[in-house]
Structure 1
């Protein structure tokens, strides 16, 4: 899907790969217990289908750390949760199974970025850190277009009341209540608020809830399980 001129995005699902149950079948996560050869084959098939030269996968640790990349990390990826690049046809991946991906691009500066914004990362401001890092390299937040990927929705993401209070103290827009009237977090609302506060005007959503969408992996719905990816790249 075209996010902006010269910028493409995609969100994979759990189908079309070679992983065996319970990871069936297109698991892209390398740290969930799946056969490494199956994960490698799934990642290679995604790159072929997208028509990119390579895909950058992070070692995600729920941080607010961001780095510029020009090549994939290989087997020794440093811990971080945000990457950006100006290299064409180098796709950036954010893995998830309830945590939303944040995909951002500036079509004029020819910079794109991806972040993994789960509960700790949203609380720490990974989306803000990504926009700021890209701006430091010449991107303009006002020109950026962002897509927030699928994640656990604010009506399903139940948490203890004290955790809701703590996260909402940092990101007020995350405060939510489940459909069964218990404390919850709305990460999507919090991420959008962070992006807009950083100057991003055009914020879009793949609003699917991972807990409710059987075609996507969900850590809350099934363990063990795989990871899907939100990807962004320059054409």
Structure 2
């Protein structure tokens, strides 16, 4: 089974991949490759999905780091998976070859970053709240403190709900755009919305990241991806980044 269409050697030894919802073991409404462990899905199905996905990517299933995502900006260096006691985090980074970092999404954007020269990679979960909190700039700063250089970094912003679909109240839009003005948007029907992708791209540029790429699919408009706004109870796809 395919694990998703976006898979690329980002630069040097840095590999990234975004999964889709196809080819797993989960039953509806999580069908079928749900990788989210806090969705209400059968834990056994999620475990099988995570293990089979890692194998298909050529990654050791026991060497994948998943976070307990809480829409914050806390960032941590990792040497190994957290196991069942994952702390509340929305960004992680490592310099350990073979250790894959995963960021889950179902409208929020998984953001994957690598500095191939320094041999450092990072992953962040950045939705509306996390973008306003600055989780992606926090990850860039933490990677830089560990020896990376922003100008050498290549970042990929993964699938996320687009500004044309992500309706919010005018107050919420104002609150987000007071911090990230580039996130200001309107839906196709003219109501207030937030453009998470544009906000993240602007943050990466301001942080001095040398190259910014996109898997620009809208989760709400792409049936092969999970979308909480579209479906309510649903699963999570993932963005993975690792050093070979």
Structure 1-normalised TM-score?
0.99
Unaligned runs of 5+ in 2: 1-7
Give, in whole Å, the separation in 2 of the partners of 1:32 and 1:128. Answer: 27
Give, in whole Å, the separation in 1 of the partners of 2:81 and 2:25. Answer: 22
SS at match of 1:47: helix
1:230 corresponds to: 239
Question: In angstroms, what is the RMSD of aligned CA positions?
Answer: 0.5
2:17 corresponds to: 10
SS at match of 1:153: coil
Matched, 1:50 2:57: yes
Matched, 1:88 2:106: no
1:100 corresponds to: 109
1:189 corresponds to: 198
- CA apart distance, 1:55: 1.0
Give, in whole Å, the separation in 2 of the partners of 1:155 and 1:21. Answer: 27
Q: 1:28 aligns with which of 17, 27, 35?
A: 35
Give, in whole Å, the separation in 2 of the partners of 1:210 and 1:152. Answer: 5
Q: 2:46 aligns with which of 18, 39, 44?
A: 39
Query: How do 1:168-207 and structure 2 match up within 5 A?
Result: 168-207=177-216
Matched, 1:162 2:171: yes
Unaligned runs of 5+ in 1: none
Structure 2-normalised TM-score?
0.95
Superposed CA offset, 1:36-84 (max 9, x none)? 0000000001111111122110000001000000111101100000000
SS at match of 2:227: coil
Give, in whole Å, the separation in 2 of the partners of 1:109 and 1:199. Answer: 16
- CA apart distance, 1:89: 1.2
Give, in whole Å, the separation in 2 of the partners of 1:156 and 1:111. Answer: 34
Give, in whole Å, the separation in 1 of the partners of 2:15 and 2:81. Answer: 18
Matched, 1:145 2:154: yes
2:140 corresponds to: 131
Please identify runs of 4+ aligned residues in structure 1 that moved more than 6 A.
Answer: none
SS at match of 2:124: strand
